[in-house]
Structure 1
């Protein structure tokens, strides 16, 4: 058996039509057959330049025959074999949506080994202009910069795995220029609005306890919907967050892990909330703290809670904020009332207190201003003595 030719080994020839053609070895099939990359140019000098660039690119790379697999096929395989075991079901559904809607229609038929950085950049430009199937009231048919960045995150992971599996030499999503992420401003209920909202939920016997608990704990939407009585410690007035509910494609509600490792946490409830839950428990016939009003054996669906929130806000004459903005409302009022960022970070289930500070810079900025005024007044009192 002859010596195995290394990747990067190549040859050059002049074709009958006058163009120059070259090829380099980029890998080997299971049978030992060589896998070539072919290049052509008008002149020998131009071809040699291309060859040298490709030899450098494929140095120490040994692709396998799957490098000719269509990108769409590789993305399907990546989702099932690599992403599915490591992410939550709802996250996987999101990944699959980006692949099916945004990547496959444009590049799905192209061999994974031939996808270039230019292909990826062109894809993002197209998505930025015409990425939506339906007209959006704010963006038209354009995809927001934040959405394209999420698509890029999925695509990058898939192609990074392709590098490790010797399907491609380099990740074509590296070095891409991404659109700026425009973060939607956080909305909160101010003191007057919060008081009005509390008035409205007092009149709603079915939903009062749910929204009062949300406003005094800042739980994520799926977390509060997934609470069970086994999570409530009446003696100590605490609540353990152990799970979250996700809505899958088709509207099916499933139970899953919390968003992060620190998402599993035990929080001390305000006395009023602990008392409210203790009273509620006495009359409960469900394992869920907030069951489906029509089917008590099931938890309340996050989508049902969201829809009822919108109805309550409309009834109160308040802005149509998102459910997550109730969490922002809790956090903002907590910080403004003097709760330190480290403690609040633990209550919210943030990985780091620095994230809490970065998220609520508008509040901490005001707190710093008030602190400087207090210190300034203190120093002035000393100076006049």
Structure 2
């Protein structure tokens, strides 16, 4: 049974809904049922309108996706590494809950998708070389549960867009069992270990100040890298985290919103205030040595020789 369903927006070819009815005494009746079902789907615009593959959907979805450059970079990396090799050639209309759950099972068995039977040697580099102890037999390692869950939500977002575009009728990711939420298992350094880290970091004053402020405020590295003197109130013992520095796809530093897209005010203890006062003196000294004045919006933690807004 074949019913015309419009023009495929990707291939620009005529698109048909098809179903094969097995022979038998009820074949005509079953064919009429299929025809009625297809016509109803076309009339109500609930039918799949496209024969695009998962790869084509992901390409189109990434074209219209509005996220930060660093977020996009993370999505693209996971899609290229895991989704495209295993699901990329599959038509979107054939993607179902069973396929997705089998895909997640493969990732749980081995992050290299070997299926558990790979015996090859993982060489330290490509091409001809003399093997060392770094060239070892492959060992299956599961992809981290958090990564599998993120892949699920990335796929779900792309498939939701496909439903809105009427490429497919339903989102199979909604029907698939979602990967479990990993239990947090932090391993912060002990007080003695933290003291040794700070002591070692203070061999360089700027690096020591950075590590100290990171430990006492709990701020992310990217947030401290983007911290400006205009956001530090030493007399009030408060700093405000407004932005973050990240590396974009071109390898250049780029200032963006914080991860939570919200600014935070952090109270400072007396020791941290003194550390930042000493850091301010060092920034002024570097500026004066170059015949410059330190601007109010200069970075707190800047590279030597890049004063007045230099980036970490």
Q: TM-score, normalized by length of structure 1?
A: 0.61
2:279 maps to 280
Structure 1 unmatched runs, 5+: 1-21, 301-385
User: What's the offset of the Cα at 1:163?
Assistant: 0.2
In structure 1, how many angstroms separate the alpha carbons of the residues matched to 2:86 and 2:175? 20
Q: Would the alpha carbon gap of residues 155 and 137 (structure 1) be closer, same or farther in structure 2, given more than 3 Å must change?
A: farther
In structure 2, how many angstroms separate the alpha carbons of the residues matched to 1:158 and 1:235? 49
| 1:23 is the counterpart of 2:5 | no
In structure 1, how many angstroms separate the alpha carbons of the residues matched to 2:99 and 2:258? 36
User: What's the offset of the Cα at 1:28?
Assistant: 2.9
Q: Would the alpha carbon gap of residues 132 and 221 (structure 1) be closer, same or farther in structure 2, given more than 3 Å must change?
A: farther
In structure 2, how many angstroms separate the alpha carbons of the residues matched to 1:61 and 1:227? 52
User: What's the offset of the Cα at 1:241?
Assistant: 0.9
In structure 2, how many angstroms separate the alpha carbons of the residues matched to 1:236 and 1:177? 50
2:302 maps to 291
Q: Secondary structure at the match of 1:266?
A: strand
**Matched residue count:** 272
1:76 maps to 59
Structure 2 unmatched runs, 5+: 114-121, 124-135, 288-293
| 8 Å Cα contact 2:48-2:169 kept in structure 1 | no
User: What's the offset of the Cα at 1:212?
Assistant: 1.0
Q: Would the alpha carbon gap of residues 185 and 202 (structure 1) be closer, same or farther in structure 2, given more than 3 Å must change?
A: same
| 1:252 is the counterpart of 2:252 | yes
Superposed, 1:123-272 pairs within 5 Å as 123-132=103-112, 140-183=140-183, 185-249=185-249, 251-262=251-262, 264-272=263-271
What value does the CA root-mean-square deviation take over the aligned residues?
Answer: 3.5
Q: Secondary structure at the match of 1:189?
A: coil
Q: Secondary structure at the match of 2:175?
A: coil
| 8 Å Cα contact 2:38-2:47 kept in structure 1 | no
Q: Would the alpha carbon gap of residues 182 and 30 (structure 1) be closer, same or farther in structure 2, given more than 3 Å must change?
A: closer
In structure 2, how many angstroms separate the alpha carbons of the residues matched to 1:53 and 1:259? 50
In structure 2, how many angstroms separate the alpha carbons of the residues matched to 1:272 and 1:70? 58
Q: TM-score, normalized by length of structure 2?
A: 0.74
Q: Secondary structure at the match of 1:256?
A: strand
| 8 Å Cα contact 2:6-2:15 kept in structure 1 | yes
Q: Secondary structure at the match of 1:51?
A: helix
In structure 2, how many angstroms separate the alpha carbons of the residues matched to 1:239 and 1:225? 13
User: What's the offset of the Cα at 1:73?
Assistant: 1.7
Q: Would the alpha carbon gap of residues 163 and 246 (structure 1) be closer, same or farther in structure 2, given more than 3 Å must change?
A: same
User: What's the offset of the Cα at 1:63?
Assistant: 4.7
User: What's the offset of the Cα at 1:291?
Assistant: 1.0
2:131 maps to none
Q: Secondary structure at the match of 1:102?
A: helix
In structure 2, how many angstroms separate the alpha carbons of the residues matched to 1:122 and 1:34? 32
In structure 2, how many angstroms separate the alpha carbons of the residues matched to 1:124 and 1:53? 36
In structure 2, how many angstroms separate the alpha carbons of the residues matched to 1:248 and 1:230? 25
Q: Secondary structure at the match of 2:20?
A: strand
Q: Pick the aligned partner of 1:96 from 72, 76, 88.
A: 76
